[in-house]
Amino acid sequence: MSHLDRRSFLKFLGTLSAYGVIPMSVSACEHKKWPGTENALGFKLNGIEPTDLDQVVLADGFHYDLLIRFNQEIKPNEFFGFNNDFLCFIPDEADTEQAILWVNHENVHTPFVSGRMRKTDPSKTEADLEMYHVGGSIIRLIKKDGKWTFRPGDPINRRLNAHTPIPFSGGTVISGSNIAVGTLANCAGGFTPWGTILTCEENYHDCFGERDPETGLVRSGLYRWEKVYSRPPEHYGWVVEVEPKSGKAQKHVRLGRFAHECATCTRLKDGRVVVYSGDDKDDQCLYKFISSEPDSLVEGTLYVADVDKGRWISLDIESNEKLRERFSDQLEIQINTRLAADLVGGSKLDRPEDIEIDPISGDVFVALTNNKPKKEYFGQILKISEKDGNYESLEFTAETFRTGGVESGFACPDNMAFDISGNLWFTSDMSGSSMHKEPYTKLKNNGLFVVPRFGERAGEVIQIASAPTDAEFTGPTFSSDYKTLFLSVQHPGEMSPDDLSSFTSHWPDGEGKPDPGIILITGPALEYLTHINLPEGE
Ligand code: FEO
Ligand code: CA
Ligand code: CA
Ligand code: CA
């Protein structure tokens, strides 16, 4: 991270000029004295130590405001969902004072949402309410006094949830219908070069269960919504593309069906696109999809990674005899992607989570969060370099970028984001039930971290924020000017007893029941880090 070759630097300048940023010289940036002591900037960029405070704790020079929280009315009779995760900031081309924010709602903690104890079956009223609060929200942002705020009642505001009918791409019929009812388990996502967002259905099996591909039997889901509604499990576990202005959506069959964490998209020179996606389950795989048409995800080929051999293996039925023997057609492979990936030798990874493309080097970063059965507790960030920097290539090299651990100061990397200066921001996800226990005790609450690209501390992992009790930060995303970082605060207080006799967290009010919500982080330290034309300070 401390050195940029000339080719990368020229690419970097191109990226920056696209944003209208004029960089200072790289050599000046690389050796820039870190604002760690008394300085003219008014803040010290030392990061924070792990803490167990039930608050959003921030490093010096950062501030936060609450943007929106669970169940807030977004328009008459429409409400903001639960456990917000992936966020996507969509600028308004004509008006820099307004924007749209897409928000994923990953799951529900039933005692907080419907009042249902988790081990009981839902009534129809309870299931309906829980199903309402997953999916996604589209909300209008406007700038007030220089800060982004949410505008209730705006016509753009809408919900998609587990009740919303969504067609399969290309008119595909799955389990008797070309329309699925609902999107759910929406974890991370991505966006396309043509302005749509991608929301990923991850732990869909929690909702209506999952069918065993060998026996055909359906195992019950965590929420047991199948007790109320009969829905084919095959209708979930897809990447869903949403047009943010209209809310129009489709489920993309060609990207495969598994516990999709994210869908990270990049465009080839001829307009076709490549989408990277991980299957967040112990010993599951990393995939890439290459579209066959420009600006469309409807047709194309899915590949699975063999990380040891550095190869992308096609899951096209015509390419492999093992696939032809096991599956009757391509659609059966798309529905049972895990099984197909295993047959062709996809590498079993430590739960691939978010994926981001480095804006300077073009490398593909993959968060591998942990693999507890294999005693891999801390995870790592993997760096993949496609051959000749070509995203269409079927060969790559892979190396560890950073390894989690008590010494590294972080565990279980999950969501990531690069800023305009090429700093890597990421969040940690130690689960609510494992935090404050060995081997995680010393790391205390989950956090937000940055790996600076420039300055004296380039390459170090610095903790910038700490989450409230039981919570994780998710969905980091920047405004177009990189002066605001939007961040989800997910599942505060999820370890509270189901009868709600007490709460382990009281965020954000400091008293009473906790709520998930979105914060926006601003401040001079954020601007210092995200802007390459650093202020003359130290
Ligand atoms: Fe929903 Fe893989 O985190
Ligand atoms: Ca995640
Ligand atoms: Ca991300
Ligand atoms: Ca996670």
pLDDT, tens digit (0-9, with 9 covering 90-100), for 196-216: 999 999 999 999 999 998 899
Indicate if the pLDDT at residue 268 is higher than 90: yes
Q: Which two tokens stand for residue 449?
A: 């971290």
pLDDT of residue 456: 84
pLDDT tens digits for 80-131?
A: 999 999 999 999 999 999 999 999 999 999 999 999 999 999 999 999 999 9
How far apart, in whole angstroms, are the C-alpha atoms of residue 130 and residue 126? 6
The residue behind tokens 């599951």 is: 284
Taking every pair of C-alpha atoms in the chain, what is the biggest distance, in angstroms?
69
CB-CB contact of 340 with 360 (8 Å):
no
What is the DSSP code (8-state) at residue 132? H
The Cβ of residue 449 has, within 10 Å, a number of other Cβ atoms equal to: 23
Tell me the mean pLDDT in the region 347-374.
98
DSSP string, 100-131: EEEEEE----HHHHT---TTSPPPHHHHHHHH
Q: What's the gap in Å between 352 CA and the centre of ligand 4?
A: 9
Q: Which two tokens stand for residue 475?
A: 């969905």
pLDDT of residue 33: 73
Instruction: Answer whether 187 contacts ligand 1 (Cβ < 6 A).
Output: yes
What pTM does this model have? 0.94
The residue behind tokens 């964490």 is: 261
The residue behind tokens 């207080």 is: 493
Which listed ligand is nearest to 475 at the C-alpha?
3
Tell me the mean pLDDT in the region 368-393.
98
Instruction: Answer whether 354 contacts ligand 1 (Cβ < 6 A).
Output: no
How far apart, in whole angstroms, are the C-alpha atoms of residue 505 and residue 490? 12
Q: Which residues contact 292 (CB under 8 A, 6 or more apart)?
A: 272, 299, 300, 301
* 450: enclosing H helix or E strand: strand 447-451
Alpha carbon 54 to chain centroid, angstroms: 23
> What domains does the chain contain, in order, with CATH numbers?
3-530 (2.120.10.10)
CA triple 195-201-205, angle to 5 deg? 170
pLDDT tens digits for 1-34?
A: 233 333 443 344 444 433 333 344 455 555 567 7
DSSP string, 398-419: EEEEEE-BTTTTB-SEEEEEE-
Q: What's the gap in Å between 241 CA and the centre of ligand 2?
A: 18
Arithmetic mean of pLDDT over the chain: 93
pLDDT of residue 18: 39
Rounded to 10 degrees, what is the CA torsion of 448, 493, 224, 116? Answer: -160
Which residue has its alpha carbon closest to ligand 1 atom 1? 187
Tell me the mean pLDDT in the region 448-454.
94
Alpha carbon 93 to chain centroid, angstroms: 24
What is the DSSP code (8-state) at residue 153? T
pLDDT of residue 455: 83
- Amino acid letter for position 493: G
Q: What's the gap in Å between 414 CA and the centre of ligand 4?
A: 5
pLDDT of residue 387: 98
Indicate if the pLDDT at residue 431 is higher than 70: yes
Collapsing DSSP states into helix, strand and coil, what is residue 170?
helix
Indicate if the pLDDT at residue 532 is higher than 60: no
If we measure between CA atoms, which residue out of 508, 522, 448, 447 comes closest to residue 478? 522
Percentage of the chain modeled with pLDDT above 90? 89
pLDDT of residue 53: 98
Lowest mean per-residue pLDDT among 175-189, 294-308, 346-360, 524-538: 524-538
**Which atom of ligand 1 is least distant from the CA of 351?**
2
pLDDT tens digits for 154-185?
A: 999 999 999 999 999 999 999 999 999 999 99
**Which atom of ligand 1 is least distant from the CA of 353?**
2
pLDDT of residue 37: 78
Instruction: Answer whether 106 contacts ligand 1 (Cβ < 6 A).
Output: yes
Sign of CA dihedral 177, 182, 185, 190: positive
Question: Is residue 489 classed exposed, middle or buried when 0-12, 13-18 and 19+ CB atoms within 10 A define those classes?
Answer: buried
Residue 508, preceding peptide bond in cis (omega within 30° of 0): yes
pLDDT of residue 30: 56
Q: What's the gap in Å between 524 CA and the centre of ligand 1?
A: 31
